[in-house]
Structure formats: structure tokens, C-alpha cells
Amino acid sequence: MTDANADADTPIAVVGTDTGVGKTVVTAGLTRWLREEGFEARAVKPAQTGHPPDDDAGFVAEACEDDDAAICPRYLEPPLAPRVAAEETGETLTYESILAACHQAIDATPVPLLEGIGGLRVPLAGDSEVIDLVADCSAAAIVVTRSGLGTLNHTALSVEALRRRGVPVRSIVCNEYEGATVAERTNPAELERLTGVPVETVPRLSGSDPRRLAEGVRDAFSPAFRDRLSAGEF
């Protein structure tokens, strides 16, 4: 099964199968490359938990060497799902406020990238989850996943959930790919067979400099993937 192309006005949602799979570094690589190609791209992080020290929007901005390259409308201190973090601190967090802030940022940005929070079913606010926000922003998804054993099930379920919500899935990115095991070597082709979605691989990158990490992600993208982005086939 293949998904219909999204046009250049469609936000790109960089979502993950779990927390810690590499959404932020992939978002940084995408945003930096698009800006280098002349697109007015900006990343939108709907809410940041674990702040400080975690600051995904700050990471993307530093990777692009431009404070305007990323925005986050809401920060919460506990390193928990946003809904739970707000409850723990007694803060008010509504889905309507998050959605409105995202719509405002998306409308003001020619090429917006919406970075997810953890996995798709992470509680965001009220009864709404990350997947609800992706669908309500009319985004097309790039799914970031792990490269090793177990990723087939997690990724296929994530793609299925997105499609059930009417979200087109444009690409899958296997992050920290080394090809050191049979599972890693066979997973990209098997994911394409299972989902019908093109798969990119990004190698394990060393260091902590956001600029260098974003460049590493950018350089790992295949020519076909870059061509689709350049053509506005998001």
C-alpha cells in the first residue's frame, strides 16, 4: 500500500515509534537541509517536557544556526508525557491551546515541520494524544524508528495507526543503522514490504554538536528522498 502524495503546503510531522528513537536529530537534519535548499522551513515542537535540560526546539535552532528555525509554545519541567507532567505540577494544559499554537505556527511558516512527543499514543492533554494532533494539523508523516530487532512490529503498528486517522505516511527512517546484525540488515527491505513506504537509513552518529549531527542526518538522505522533498512531495 502506498500513500497519496502530500503537496508543498502540507506540514511534515516527524513522529516516532517511541521516545528516544531520534526524532529531534532527524527533524534537525530535515530542517537544516530544507533551509539550505532555499525553503523557509521551521520546526514546531508542540510541547517540551523535561525542561530543563531537554530543549528539542533549541537543539534544532542550534543545528540550523538560527533561532527562528524552531519554536516551542509550551515547556513543562517533569520528564513525563505532557498531560501527566501538567497534572504533576498543577499547571493548566489544554489540547485546544496546543492545537491553536501549532496552527498559528504552521500558518506562519511556508514549510513547517511538526516534531512529535514520544510515540503516537502519548497523552498530550485532556483525552487527546500526539496522533490526534498530527491528524488535526492535516500533516503527512515521516516515521522515525529503531533499526534493530523488534522494529518491524512497532513500525508497522505506527504506520497502521496513522493511516487509520487519514494521515499519509511519506517515509520511514531507521535511525542509528549499523547493519551489524541480520535483523538490522533485513529490516529496511522488510519494512518496505510490510508498509509500502520508502525507507531511509541514518547511521549511528558520534558527538553532541547539533550542527554536526544535523549534517550527518542530511548527508545520509538518499538522492530519491531529497528529490521528493525538493519537489514539494512531502
pLDDT at position 229 is 85
DSSP 66-86: -GGGEE-S-B-SSSS-HHHHH
pLDDT at position 234 is 59
pLDDT at position 41 is 97
Measure the N-to-C terminal CA separation of the chain; round to a whole number of Å.
Answer: 17
> CA nearest 51: which of 21, 73, 31?
73
Q: Would the annotation count 211 as a binding residue?
A: no
Give the residue carrying C-alpha cell 549531527.
Answer: 213
3-state SS, residue 214: helix
Catalytic annotation, pick one of 32, 45, 74, 83: 45
Catalytic residue at 62?
no
- CA 234 to CA 232: how far, in whole Å? 5
pLDDT at position 5 is 55
Give 10-residue mean pLDDT values along the chain (234 residues): 65 98 99 96 98 98 99 98 98 99 98 98 99 98 98 99 98 98 98 98 98 98 92 71
Q: Would the annotation count 25 as a binding residue?
A: yes
pLDDT at position 4 is 56
Q: Taking a C-beta distance cutoff of 8 angstroms, is the pair 108, 137 a contact?
A: no
Q: Would the annotation count 151 as a binding residue?
A: no
Which tens digit of pLDDT belongs to each residue from 36-56?
A: 999 999 999 999 999 999 999
Q: Would the annotation count 17 as a binding residue?
A: no
Q: Taking a C-beta distance cutoff of 8 angstroms, is the pair 71, 105 a contact?
A: yes
pLDDT at position 230 is 81
Between β-strands 140-146 and 128-129, what pairing exists: parallel, antiparallel or unpaired?
unpaired
CATH class as words, domain 16-134+204-230: alpha beta
Q: Would the annotation count 29 as a binding residue?
A: no
The identity of residue 170, as a single letter, is R
Helix (H) or strand (E) holding 157: helix 151-164
Q: pTM for this structure?
A: 0.96
Q: Would the annotation count 116 as a binding residue?
A: yes
